Amino acid sequence: MGHRPWQVVLLPGGILPVGPAYAALLAELGTDVDARPKELEIYATDVPPPGYTLSTEVAGVLRVADDAGFERFHLVGYSAGGAAALAFAASRPERLLSLALMEPAFAGWQETTDAERSHFLRFRELLDKEGPEMLTEFQALQLAPGVDPIPPPAGPAPPWMAKRPAALQTILRAFLASDLDLGTLRRFDRPVWFALGGRSHPDYYALMAQRLATVFPDFRVESFPDRHHFDPPHRIEPARVAASLRSLWPRATPS
């Protein structure tokens, strides 16, 4: 007798839409996963919603899970979606069976080292830049020294790209004006998996992973040495990520 399908909500980053972001991973996960890939709430309208905060994303995850009939579920989040997943774990921990984080863009300010804090504050400069200049610097801040940003694909930009600069700046403002309650997360007793790219900026994601390892009681980091934030493992190495998730979920599911 087979088990009930894994009930999963997946959150993308702030640039690539959820469909192409998770297509390869969902193909690897197979048919026994009841997956709900969810676009970020900031893209629910043509312009960023007024008063946007991470609570906006938390409410969106809750709506999708409720509509799907997921009482408790597994949450997967990458980049801005990872920040939203952390915020959800802090505010609605009773709804989660596990948490999979792929380089979340923000994990609060509490207990940051000087190096982690000062690196993240460099993103404030992007609020005064526009268009290609902003997007190039946005990439550079997340890549290890010596790693070149990925050039934009040839040809016209896809229509959805027009929303990205304003949305990314709105997300950054939300991060800079908010925090994450690590005390609440210390009581989160579900397993947490963190995917870390070896070519991502170490003062950003490696230091974040080290900090979160002292917060979550059950926290595991998996390193992907050849990956960075903009060629993430769920797109480039989906079979390996699928295997990692399939190892995570049985540990989380009550017997």
**Of 230, 178, 185, 181, residue with least CA distance to 204:** 230
pLDDT category, 131, cuts 50, 70, 90? Answer: confident
Summary mean pLDDT of the chain: 94
The pLDDT score that the predictor gives to residue 118 is 97
* Of 4 and 74, the one with more pLDDT: 74
Residue 181 pLDDT more than 60?
Answer: yes
Who has greater pLDDT, 222 or 49?
222
For the ranges 79-83, 102-106, 153-157, 176-180, the lowest mean pLDDT is seen at 153-157
Percent of the chain with pLDDT over 90: 85
Measure the CA dihedral 128/131/136/137, to 10°: 10
pTM over 0.85: yes
pLDDT of residue 154: 85
Q: Which residue has the higher pLDDT, 146 or 253?
A: 146
Give the integer Cα–Cα distance in Å for 236 and 226.
Answer: 10
CA distance 26 to 238: 8
**Phi, psi at 99, each rounded to 5°:** -135, 125
Per-residue pLDDT, averaged over 195-207, amounts to: 98
- Helix then strand then coil, in percent of the chain rounded to 5, is 50, 15, 35
Q: Residue 254: what pLDDT? A: 57
Strand positions, DSSP E, the chain: 6-11, 33-37, 73-78, 96-102, 192-197, 219-224
Compute the average pLDDT of residues 190-194.
98
> Is the Cβ–Cβ distance between 207 and 116 less than 8 Å?
yes
How far is the C-alpha of 226 from the C-alpha of 197, rounded, in Å? 7
Give the integer Cα–Cα distance in Å for 24 and 93: 28
What whole-number distance in Å separates Cα of residue 90 and Cα of residue 213? 15
Locate 82 and state its tokens: 């990872």
Task: Report residue 153's pLDDT band, with 50, 70 and 90 as the boundaries.
Answer: confident
1, pLDDT greater than 80: no
Cα separations (Å) of 239 from 23, 26, 68, 113, 236?
A: 12, 10, 26, 34, 9
In the block, tokens 């948490």 appear at 99
